[in-house]
Amino acid sequence: MTIHSAKHDESSRQFDIALSNRQSRQPVNDEQLCDAVRAVLRDSTFTSATISIAVVDDSSIRELNRRYLDHDWPTDVLSFVLDERADHLEGEVIISADTAATAAAEAGWPAAAELLLYVIHGTLHLIGYGDKSPADARRMRAAEEKYLGQLGFQTSQSNDNSAGPDILAANRARGGATAR
């Protein structure tokens, strides 16, 4: 299933988001994933963007990870900047539904939230966020938490009264990759 979503916001920005679900094991909330990309882009310097999201299984993401990054294992998210000029961005975010389901079970939260985290993380990479240094990783985690909260998911870090899992800490152990 492929959905295309083009929306203009009040500041005359145009973000075209296409989602392709290439797996059948996990349910996918297409609209929520597209909204997550749009939320990150709204806070960026880009006034237009064309972003594709692909939801795949572990074998597919492993092959992409091997082919493009020479890593022979499945990963959670891959992001690729295809074109970046002035105020326009084109990119791809590829996420593994299988990895999301496994990680979500370990973290004790819904697989849909884990998929959402992957899309946010990949989109943040597209707009220039890094996560290799400790300072960059803290900035990335703060942004992930912000967008997860905006989209209705609270983490234990953002709610001091919560006894819930620290999903962002669980995600720190996994590593996606980006190509710029």
pLDDT score recorded for residue 13: 84
Query: What would the mean pLDDT of 31-39 be, rounded to a whole number?
Result: 97
pLDDT score recorded for residue 142: 96
Residue 4: how many CB atoms within 10 A of its CB? 11
Residue 8 clears pLDDT 70, i.e. is over it:
no
* Tens-digit pLDDT profile for residues 99-119: 999 999 999 999 999 999 999
CB 44 within 8 A of CB 63: no
**Burial bucket for residue 134 (CB in 10 Å: 0-12, 13-18, 19+):** exposed
Q: Walk me through the domains of the chain, giving residue ranges and CATH numbers.
A: 2-179 (3.40.390.30)
Distance CA 42, CA 45 (A): 8
Residue 174 clears pLDDT 50, i.e. is over it:
no
Instruction: Tell me the torsion sign for CA atoms 76, 80, 84, 90.
Output: negative
| pTM, entire model | 0.85
CB 77 within 8 A of CB 37: no
Query: What would the mean pLDDT of 147-156 be, rounded to a whole number?
Result: 85
* Tens-digit pLDDT profile for residues 122-140: 999 999 999 999 999 999 9
Distance CA 61, CA 21 (A): 13
pLDDT score recorded for residue 165: 41
